[in-house]
A and B are shown apart, each in its own frame.
Chain A
Amino acid sequence: MKLSHLEPTSILCRREFLHRCAVCAGVVALPSAWLKLLSVAQPTSSDSLNPPAAGSGLAFRFFSRMQAATVEAMMDQIIPADQDPGAKWAGVVHYIDLALAGDLRDFRPTYVKGIERVNTNSRTLGGKVFADLQFVDQTKVVEELERDQTEVVEKLTGKAFFELVRRHTLEGFFGDPKYGGNRESVGWKILNFNA
């Protein structure tokens, strides 16, 4: 499928672009309970959680595929899927990717180094990169990062990197969808909040 003619020029267009891709891809699978929350019905093909958005063919503005997969998996630890979608389904990784390509570009080195740290720790713990670990093992890596007082970049500890990712995850999950996250306002819907 050729999508280059749809390449957006602004964040808002970008958001629409992502939606179109999600619909076009047609492979998103959801637990049926989630569907109640969502204004646009999605095809349900199994009871398993949806494949990561990073694997659904969407382009990233800043992250590499590997970096995006790491961040996305971290975000899904912070707000995991349960009876409702989590940060992964909500596309929060695209929120931070767009932000790093724009207003929050100052945080680029932090993310690059922080992601390296997480994957190094993951290999030590489970012999795989973070995104390939089992959910429970990912949780262990994040718990370790949360206590990590050594520097990831100058003056920024592993713990501070975790706090940054946590902050951005909340922003992307609960903030306005126009910034690329909070897909279909899912973060608001689970709170029953109408903006």
Chain B
Amino acid sequence: MSMESVDVAVVGAGAGGGIVANELARSGLRVVLFDRGRHFSAADFNHDELSDSQAPWNRNGRRFGPDFAEIQTYRANPESPGRIVSSRDYDFSIVGWCVGGGTLSYQGLSWRLHPETFRLKSLYGSIPGSTVEDWPISYDDLEPYYEKAEYELGICGEPAATGPLRRKPYPMPPLDDDREAQVLFPAARRLGWKPFHPPLAITSVEYRERPACIRCPFCIGYLCEIDSKSSTAVTVIPQALKTGLCSLRAQSVVREITVDGRGRPNGLIYRAGDGQWKEMRAKVIVVAASAVETPRLLLSSKSKWFPTGIGNQHDQVGRHAHQDTGVAVFGFFDTSVSDGIGPGPGCAVDFQFQNPQIEGGGVIYNGFSRTPLRVVNTVPRPSGVKSWGRDFKDFYRNYFWKHIRLYCGAHGLPREGNRVDLDPELHDELGMPIARVTHKGHSWSAPQLEWIAGRAEQLLKEAGAQFTLHHPIEREPGGSLGDHQCGSCRMGADPRSSVADRTGRVHDVPNVFIADGSLLTNSGGCNPCLTIQALAYWVSEHIAREWKGGGIQR
């Protein structure tokens, strides 16, 4: 049997990979799109917190992967011993392991990063203990690609007075205000702030043959039962398949990128859904497997030309891994402040780079699915109320409808010592070394969070909250990388401090590109997904252009 040969192999069918597959297939290239997880559809949805949520209280494992058999090791710094975590644990470094990746079950918050985020180092100088760098591209470079992502995927929202400049409005208006938004907007305005409707990857009106959101409260953590959530699984990936040039290989695990006799990557080895190990030739390889799994694959691809892994000639693969930081502030009211409809976020205030006293700043927005297990597992209690017993029951019964959750987001920074690499001893059941995550937050973020949490308390009190609560803000939070993981194969001008160039191409490797959160030079102070997606359009355009010019095909 002859080995399968394609133009482009894309590893990871998530936020970035789905876009790259579609763009390149539409450009006439033959593409295979791999994902190690399952391909779900709306028919897989039930209103069931115990079986259908990506949250760790799902009793049978993370609904959208990985299952409990998958493990990683985690350590806070290179000196500390590693400990094994499974996906049952809260601190498993996870996005979603499925077609659509995290976008299948995320909340859909789709921010553009602020222009300042792209030049943090120029703005604030070197920050001790951090490896922060400026991006090799600017907001202006990326602006048309943000716009393209918003229109191609379908984002609803309104241009914010405090947001980055944009040429076009959002393709869809915001969702109608729910009760929480009706409580928060006037309060924010009374404080002299400029609240707005946060951008969401949700159809507020019918959009490109997908129906408008039915305002179901089972949103974050769930796939959408009517395909209203603008996941890549229901937008760009079906489009890619429709071209006839893209083949989707779900439940197929890529183990290694292969290299030919002259040191040029030429394909990959994978375990197909039927359990068979197979090899494939590809002229271009795009790695889009998440900021943990992408470095894991590059570092696993060792050969005499790449003795420590592809792209790792300067020992950069996996370094600089970080994520944005956040804290949720809860306000408790004496009357109901919710009408129980979804999706959740309906009011935002953006303070990023607005206040000279606070570097970075932050953003506030409300909401989350108000469902029983999420509430009793995530809403904090006053210090006198234990985690069980009469007071426990009474507290949640009383406040289930009388609380508002404000999420406060702020920038993270790449911290010296942070890295995703391979555990030197442990392998998964396929024989691949497991990922070892070495991660701690940088202390730079804590004052931002303290400040923004203070604004959230102010807003909740103005809205009528009797009291507010939030979890403690740690100076250097431990714990693994969450679903906003980024920066582990960052783009940069200097190959000695980055993995990819400004087009997403791995330095000194002509035909391997990266198109996921790994590429982000900095997290920004908000959810990273739309930036991953804008970059995926940016990277795709460079690949397609070079392909036409004949530069990367042989």
Does B400 contact A192, Cβ atoms closer than 8 Å? yes
Chain A residues packing against B (C-beta within 8 Å): 77-80, 82, 84, 86, 99, 103-104, 139, 142, 166-167, 169-171, 174-176, 178-179, 187-188, 190-195
A44 and B396 alpha carbons, distance in the complex (Å): 27
Q: Does B425 contact A (CB under 8 A)?
A: no
> Which 6 residue pairs across A and B have the least CB separation, nearest first?
A174-B372, A175-B50, A78-B388, A191-B400, A176-B48, A195-B47
A191-B400, A192-B400 known; A175 vs B393 contact (CB < 8 Å): no
A166 and B388 alpha carbons, distance in the complex (Å): 8
The minimal Cβ–Cβ distance linking A90 to chain B, given in whole angstroms, is: 11
The minimal Cβ–Cβ distance linking A115 to chain B, given in whole angstroms, is: 17
Q: Chain A binding site: helix, strand, loop or mixed by DSSP?
A: helix
Q: Within residues 57 to 98 of chain B, which ones have a CB less than 8 A from any CB in chain A?
A: 57, 59-60
Does A191 contact B396, Cβ atoms closer than 8 Å? yes
> Contact check: which of B49, B371, B389, B396 meets A77 at CB < 8 Å?
B389
> Contact check: which of B340, B373, B387, B400 meets A171 at CB < 8 Å?
B373
Q: Does B390 contact A (CB under 8 A)?
A: yes
Does B49 contact A176, Cβ atoms closer than 8 Å? yes
Q: Chain B binding site: helix, strand, loop or mixed by DSSP?
A: loop
A171 and B58 alpha carbons, distance in the complex (Å): 9
A193 and B341 alpha carbons, distance in the complex (Å): 11
Does A193 contact B377, Cβ atoms closer than 8 Å? no
A82 and B396 alpha carbons, distance in the complex (Å): 14
The minimal Cβ–Cβ distance linking A101 to chain B, given in whole angstroms, is: 14
Does B390 contact A80, Cβ atoms closer than 8 Å? yes
Contacts of A166 in B (CB 8 A): 387-388
Q: Does B397 contact A (CB under 8 A)?
A: yes
Does B57 contact A191, Cβ atoms closer than 8 Å? no
The minimal Cβ–Cβ distance linking A183 to chain B, given in whole angstroms, is: 15
Contacts of A194 in B (CB 8 A): 340
Given contacts A104-B59, A176-B48, A190-B397, 15 further A-B contacts (CB under 8 A): A78-B389, A79-B388, A82-B393, A84-B397, A170-B373, A171-B57, A171-B59, A174-B376, A175-B48, A175-B50, A176-B50, A178-B48, A191-B396, A192-B401, A193-B400
A86 and B373 alpha carbons, distance in the complex (Å): 16
Contacts of B373 in A (CB 8 A): 170-171, 174-175
The minimal Cβ–Cβ distance linking A186 to chain B, given in whole angstroms, is: 11
A62 and B531 alpha carbons, distance in the complex (Å): 50
Q: Quick one: CB contact mask for B368-412 with A, threshold 8 Å, 1 for yes?
A: 000111011100000000011110111011001100000000000
A77 and B389 alpha carbons, distance in the complex (Å): 6
Does A175 contact B49, Cβ atoms closer than 8 Å? yes
User: Taking CB as reference atom, which chain B residue is nearest A181?
Assistant: B50
User: Taking CB as reference atom, which chain B residue is nearest A165?
Assistant: B388
A169 and B57 alpha carbons, distance in the complex (Å): 12
The minimal Cβ–Cβ distance linking B342 to chain A, given in whole angstroms, is: 13
Does B393 contact A79, Cβ atoms closer than 8 Å? yes
Contacts of A190 in B (CB 8 A): 393, 397
Chain B interface bracket (under 10, 10 to 19, 20 to 34, 35 or more) = 20 to 34
User: Taking CB as reference atom, which chain B residue is nearest A178?
Assistant: B48
A167 and B340 alpha carbons, distance in the complex (Å): 25
The minimal Cβ–Cβ distance linking B374 to chain A, given in whole angstroms, is: 10
Does A187 contact B372, Cβ atoms closer than 8 Å? yes
Does B371 contact A193, Cβ atoms closer than 8 Å? yes
The minimal Cβ–Cβ distance linking B448 to chain A, given in whole angstroms, is: 32
A93 and B250 alpha carbons, distance in the complex (Å): 39
A74 and B60 alpha carbons, distance in the complex (Å): 23
Does B50 contact A171, Cβ atoms closer than 8 Å? yes
User: Taking CB as reference atom, which chain A residue is nearest B377?
Assistant: A170
Q: Quick one: CB contact mask for B26-70 with A, threshold 8 Å, 1 for yes?
A: 000000000000000000000111110000010110000000000
The minimal Cβ–Cβ distance linking B338 to chain A, given in whole angstroms, is: 11
User: Taking CB as reference atom, which chain B residue is nearest A188?
Assistant: B372
A159 and B76 alpha carbons, distance in the complex (Å): 24
Does B49 contact A80, Cβ atoms closer than 8 Å? no
Does A79 contact B392, Cβ atoms closer than 8 Å? yes
Does B50 contact A179, Cβ atoms closer than 8 Å? yes
Does B389 contact A139, Cβ atoms closer than 8 Å? yes
Does B393 contact A80, Cβ atoms closer than 8 Å? yes
Does B394 contact A82, Cβ atoms closer than 8 Å? yes
A170 and B396 alpha carbons, distance in the complex (Å): 12
A82-B390, A170-B377, A191-B400 known; A99 vs B372 contact (CB < 8 Å): no
A84 and B371 alpha carbons, distance in the complex (Å): 19
Contacts of A79 in B (CB 8 A): 388, 392-393
Does A86 contact B50, Cβ atoms closer than 8 Å? no
Contacts of B49 in A (CB 8 A): 174-176
Contacts of B47 in A (CB 8 A): 195
The minimal Cβ–Cβ distance linking B246 to chain A, given in whole angstroms, is: 36
Contacts of B390 in A (CB 8 A): 80, 82
The minimal Cβ–Cβ distance linking B422 to chain A, given in whole angstroms, is: 25
Contacts of A103 in B (CB 8 A): 59-60
A190 and B395 alpha carbons, distance in the complex (Å): 12
User: Taking CB as reference atom, which chain B residue is nearest A195?
Assistant: B47
